[in-house]
Amino acid sequence: MSLILVVLMPFLGALLPGVLYPAGRRTCALGTLAVSVIALIGLASNLPALLNGEVVTQRIEWLPALGLNATFFLDPLGAFFATLILGIGCLIIAYGRYYLSRDDDMGEFYTYLLLFQGAMVGIVLSDNILMLLVFWELTSLSSFLLIGYWRHLPEGRQGARMALAVTGMGGLALIGGMLILGQIAGSYDLTVILENRDAIQSSDLYLPALILILLGCFTKSAQFPFHFWLPHAMAAPTPVSAYLHSATMVKAGIFLMARLWPVLSGSEAWFWLVTGAGLITVVLGAVIALFKHDLKALLAFSTVSHLGLITMLLGTGTAFGAMTAIFHILNHATFKAALFMSAGIVDHEAHTRDIRKLGGLRHLMPVTATIATLAALSMAGIPLFNGFVSKEMWLEEALHTTLFGPEWLVPAVATVGALFSAAYSFRFIFHTFFGKERHDYPSHPHDPNPGMWLPPAFLVSLVLLIGLAPFLAEPLVKGVTGAVLGSAAEVPEYHLAIWHGFKPPLYLSAVAVAGGILLLLLHRWLQKGWDVVPRPEAKTIFDGVIAGCVWVARRVTCVLHDGAFTRYAAILSVAILAAAVHAFLTGTTGPATRAMQPPSVVAIATWVMLVAATGFLVFVHRHRFAALILIGIIGLIVSVAFAFFSAPDLAMTQISVEVVTVVLMLLALNFLPKTTPVESGMLRRARDAVIACAGGIGAGALAYFLLLRDFVSAPISEYHLENSYAGGGGTNVVNVILVDFRGFDTFGEIIVLGIAAMVIYALTEALLRGPVRARLLNRVPETPLAGDRHPLMMVVLTRVIMPVLLMIGVYIFLRGHNMPGGGFIAGLVVAVAIVQQYMASGYAWATQRQRFPYHGIVGAGVLIAGLTGIGAWFTGHEFLTSSFTYIKLPLLDEFEVASAMGFDLGVFLAVLGAVLLSLESFSRMARRAYTEESEYAMDIDPSRENRTGGTD
């Protein structure tokens, strides 16, 4: 199976659990299991090539200019991790089927689990580091969802937040580090980066890149000082803890360190940072683990400790260290996942994980006890178990490592770590399963369904197999080590075996085990001492930091965003003015190149009218109706100006928009206060006037300078003028630009218009359903209503004029391609014709006669426009290329048929629908208020009175 499919499989499969869940828990689990198994088989199908020493790669070019390609490659390291992820994934899915209770939504759980699985496989198989980063963040997100799966538990929510905050922050650092790495290597492909060891290590940016990458790895793999999130993540369901927080996700950081080992390791900084952090983590985790009472917390800190062990091994920078790290990853994954699953079984059966309430369970659940004991012995490093073999090798490596001065320090610290590790393992075994049988469990425990203990049993059989016959794992470990080392070093000549003779590591091991037993015996007193000593609590510190950040953010927001919108507007205006003044003072202006055109008397008169209307508007704006009339006058003058300066299309659009805008504002004024009270003092008004005048002078000056100068570079309009008829088939260049040259813009614009109309519709809906509705119904109009609100004369007139207006609309639409007009203007004109009916005959009357919903018309318009554009594909052209032809029908002149007509029809419908939808929304509001609607068009209708009088 191709690598892309292997990665995609869990993502595609993530759709299954939700679909299958209604069919039953069994089907759901089986379906999820099938996905993982198929992915695993798909991965295995690549093994023959891998065994031949090939590296399987697959590449899809996506954004080559950005270096962003979907590139996957499979080498032994990737295959090793992918097998761990998918293999343990299968076991976890089987285990989870029996672990989850009937109240848990299994579909949701498995969906998250598969998402996580896909992201993890993506990390280990990605060749492109940018893609790797995306998968990396995806694991943080899916881990967040899984930890918080039981969202009714506050610990779950807090743990999920903390894990996301820590790993997410690390992820950001990692992005920075990886980008630097890619910059140094000149490629974002891992395979290329791995070959540039010298360039990377000698670069000045090596240290920042290293620190950022290690931040990402340490947070993910819970290394000191970022170890604190992992124990809190234990609020997750146990399958999640077993899968994410012991076997796979926390190993992502380790994986990345191993992957980048050939290019990053070997330097002083790497050695100090990685080995140091690892060593501290080993001891810290092991010591805390001994004193935890919660089984899962104990295992969590033990995981922290073991991850530290692996980190330290990678940090030493020797080939032997890398090999031991790989071997221990394998061993840790087997025994720790089994231990977590056993802890989950205990919790599931006894309803408690508190080690103080447990004991003697071996009598009640012998199978679980056996599995857990074997796995824990491996964790303790007892001979004949796999944990022993790799721990021996670790001590061997520690003996050859010198850090912080004295030679004995690292071996001594490592032994202390091993000692505590043995101690907590023994405590896990003896305090849970041995001792006297108790009868005060919250629930009576017994061995669970085989489906629950078989997965850990399988892992424990691996523990024993590798422990008894380590040479079986040797080819695997050496193969993977070869992939880690790359060309940087040779795979060491070392044979994995139980017995290496009486050598120092064995003595250290013996000390550790003996000390572990001693600590267990002394545990009661040690625990008392531990409980008395005050320690910094990571969660408290973390919460404090978060609370501090929130406090600062809140202060800043409070100061910057105090709700005084008017002041924001003033600040914005002044800022724009300041930028303009800066540009004016520092920039250069060329001499005027165009002569001023002499003004005509009419033009001057119009100008005077405009200035007068605007001035009046400012002075009387408190009388809102008067202001509306003045706005109408200004709009009219603007459209006259358009017409005067050779823009007939604009003039027509402006005047029809003016009509609908004024109608709209009138409808709104129906509810708003009719006057604006005087509130701001003289000073405030003077300030605003100064800002306004400065802005006006600036805008005017800019326009004046612009108008007297020629274009800096030749405008592209020549092209439009030349090709309008030849290419677009129309003589109205403006319209051809709209429907053809820049059709895509227009398409976007009608969509925006449609969205605006929908927003208004939705707002109206929301208002009319909420408390506003009651207010509207209880509203008393400010002014007495007209007795005859739908006068006869007006009704008759609007109805007579309607067909005329519609015909004008059709005419404007049809001629639009060649003469001023087109879909926009026609839509507005027809909208005005219909709005007249609403105004004259009343909302109820008009609504009864409305055949199509307006949002439907908007949608149809956008759809028709889009389909017309797509139609161009069938003639082999780009989206929205128009084609046209001329046909002749009998009795008519020859006329043109252009596909642009279809597009213009879409524009027409979208504009019509949007305008009517907005106006209708306002009038719906009016209808809810105080007025009783009559179904008749006219309030006073002589003919109706005659009729009713006749029948009485």
Interface of this chain with other proteins, residues 116 to 175, rule: CB under 8 A: none
- For 79-93, letters b (16+ CB in 10 Å) and e give bbbbbbbbbbbbbbb
CB atoms within 10 A of CB 16: 19
Contact string 551-570 vs other proteins (x = CB under 8 A): ---x--xx--xxxxxxx-xx
What does DSSP assign to residue 820?
S
- Tell me the number of residues near other proteins by CB under 8 A: 125
Of 40-48, 212-220, 479-487, 638-646, the segment contacting other proteins by CB under 8 A is 638-646
Q: Is 646 in the site for other proteins (CB under 8 A)?
A: yes
**What is the rounded CA–CA span in Å between residue 160 and residue 790?**
64
What's the one-letter identity of residue 825? I
Q: Is 583 in the site for other proteins (CB under 8 A)?
A: no
Q: Is 627 in the site for other proteins (CB under 8 A)?
A: yes
**Measured between alpha carbons, how far is residue 660 from residues 641, 650, 655, 840, 903 in Å?**
20, 16, 9, 15, 24
- Our CB check for other proteins shows the closer of 95 and 761 to be 761
- Our CB check for other proteins shows the closer of 502 and 565 to be 565
Q: Is 657 in the site for other proteins (CB under 8 A)?
A: yes
**What is the rounded CA–CA span in Å between residue 608 and residue 606?**
5
Contact string 746-765 vs other proteins (x = CB under 8 A): x--x--xx--xx-xx--xx-
Contacts of 134 (CB under 8 A, 6+ apart): 122
Question: Quick check: 904 and 912 in contact, CB under 8 A?
Answer: no
**What is the rounded CA–CA span in Å between residue 81 and residue 430?**
33
- Our CB check for other proteins shows the closer of 118 and 821 to be 821
Site for other proteins in 447-466 (CB under 8 A): none
- Our CB check for other proteins shows the closer of 761 and 845 to be 761
Site for other proteins in 900-919 (CB under 8 A): 911, 914-915, 918
Q: Is 742 in the site for other proteins (CB under 8 A)?
A: yes
> How big is the CA angle at 296 (ends 380 and 526), to the nearest 5 degrees?
60
Burial of 506 (C-beta count, 10 Å sphere; 0-12/13-18/19+): middle
- Our CB check for other proteins shows the closer of 443 and 600 to be 600
The binder of other proteins chosen from 134, 269, 488, 767 (CB under 8 A)? 767
What does DSSP assign to residue 272?
I
**Unique residue bearing structure tokens 């400010």:** 782
What does DSSP assign to residue 357?
G
Of 508, 510, 517, which Cα lies nearest the Cα of 395?
508
Residue 584 beta carbon to other proteins: minimum distance, rounded to whole angstroms? 15
Residue 721 beta carbon to other proteins: minimum distance, rounded to whole angstroms? 6
Q: Is 771 in the site for other proteins (CB under 8 A)?
A: yes
**Unique residue bearing structure tokens 């459209």:** 639
CA pseudo-torsion sign 645, 650, 656, 660: negative
- Our CB check for other proteins shows the closer of 532 and 712 to be 712
- Our CB check for other proteins shows the closer of 286 and 915 to be 915
- Our CB check for other proteins shows the closer of 541 and 699 to be 699
Residue 692 beta carbon to other proteins: minimum distance, rounded to whole angstroms? 4
- Our CB check for other proteins shows the closer of 555 and 944 to be 555
Q: Is 88 in the site for other proteins (CB under 8 A)?
A: no
- Our CB check for other proteins shows the closer of 404 and 568 to be 568
The binder of other proteins chosen from 514, 578, 604, 804 (CB under 8 A)? 604
Question: Quick check: 258 and 274 in contact, CB under 8 A?
Answer: no
Q: Is 33 in the site for other proteins (CB under 8 A)?
A: no
**What is the rounded CA–CA span in Å between residue 582 and residue 483?**
60
The binder of other proteins chosen from 501, 536, 591, 598 (CB under 8 A)? 598
Q: Is 778 in the site for other proteins (CB under 8 A)?
A: no
Question: Quick check: 341 and 88 in contact, CB under 8 A?
Answer: no
For residue 898, the SS3 value is: strand
Q: Is 664 in the site for other proteins (CB under 8 A)?
A: yes
- Our CB check for other proteins shows the closer of 59 and 621 to be 621
The binder of other proteins chosen from 669, 794, 814, 844 (CB under 8 A)? 669
- Cis omega (within 30 of 0) on the bond before 225? yes
The binder of other proteins chosen from 706, 797, 863, 870 (CB under 8 A)? 706
The binder of other proteins chosen from 607, 744, 852, 930 (CB under 8 A)? 607
Site for other proteins in 855-874 (CB under 8 A): none
Q: Is 777 in the site for other proteins (CB under 8 A)?
A: no
Of 388-396, 488-496, 599-607, 849-857, the segment contacting other proteins by CB under 8 A is 599-607
Q: Is 923 in the site for other proteins (CB under 8 A)?
A: no
The binder of other proteins chosen from 369, 738, 826, 833 (CB under 8 A)? 738
Of 760, 698, 685, which Cα lies nearest the Cα of 915?
760
Residue 814 beta carbon to other proteins: minimum distance, rounded to whole angstroms? 15
What's the one-letter identity of residue 165? A
Contacts of 923 (CB under 8 A, 6+ apart): 667, 838, 843
The binder of other proteins chosen from 62, 458, 671, 843 (CB under 8 A)? 671
Q: Is 644 in the site for other proteins (CB under 8 A)?
A: yes
Kindly report the backbone phi and psi dihedral angles of residue 495, in degrees, each rounded to the nearest multiple of 5, phi listed first.
Answer: -105, 135
The binder of other proteins chosen from 128, 653, 868, 899 (CB under 8 A)? 653
Of 61-69, 240-248, 301-309, 610-618, the segment contacting other proteins by CB under 8 A is 610-618
Largest CA distance in the chain: 125
The binder of other proteins chosen from 449, 731, 848, 850 (CB under 8 A)? 731
Of 120, 146, 349, which Cα lies nearest the Cα of 255?
120
**What is the rounded CA–CA span in Å between residue 509 and residue 417?**
11
Residue 691 beta carbon to other proteins: minimum distance, rounded to whole angstroms? 6
Q: Is 537 in the site for other proteins (CB under 8 A)?
A: no
Residue 856 beta carbon to other proteins: minimum distance, rounded to whole angstroms? 18
Of 88-96, 145-153, 538-546, 657-665, the segment contacting other proteins by CB under 8 A is 657-665
Residue 933 beta carbon to other proteins: minimum distance, rounded to whole angstroms? 19
Question: Quick check: 425 and 523 in contact, CB under 8 A?
Answer: no
**What is the rounded CA–CA span in Å between residue 670 and residue 664?**
10
Residue 80 beta carbon to other proteins: minimum distance, rounded to whole angstroms? 50
Residue 663 beta carbon to other proteins: minimum distance, rounded to whole angstroms? 11
Q: Is 703 in the site for other proteins (CB under 8 A)?
A: yes
Residue 599 beta carbon to other proteins: minimum distance, rounded to whole angstroms? 5
**What tokens appear for 845 in the block?**
């009357």
Of 631, 666, 638, which Cα lies nearest the Cα of 653?
638
- Our CB check for other proteins shows the closer of 714 and 891 to be 714
CB atoms within 10 A of CB 702: 13
Q: Where are the alpha helices (DSSP H) in 842-898?
A: 843-848, 854-874
Residue 680 beta carbon to other proteins: minimum distance, rounded to whole angstroms? 6
- Our CB check for other proteins shows the closer of 86 and 833 to be 833
- Our CB check for other proteins shows the closer of 739 and 901 to be 739
**What is the rounded CA–CA span in Å between residue 738 and residue 164?**
49
Q: Is 696 in the site for other proteins (CB under 8 A)?
A: yes
Q: Is 591 in the site for other proteins (CB under 8 A)?
A: no
CB atoms within 10 A of CB 592: 13
Of 651, 648, 392, which Cα lies nearest the Cα of 508?
392
Contacts of 68 (CB under 8 A, 6+ apart): 62, 128, 130, 131, 188
- Our CB check for other proteins shows the closer of 571 and 804 to be 571
Phi-psi region of 692 (alpha: psi -120 to 50; beta: other; left: phi over 0): alpha
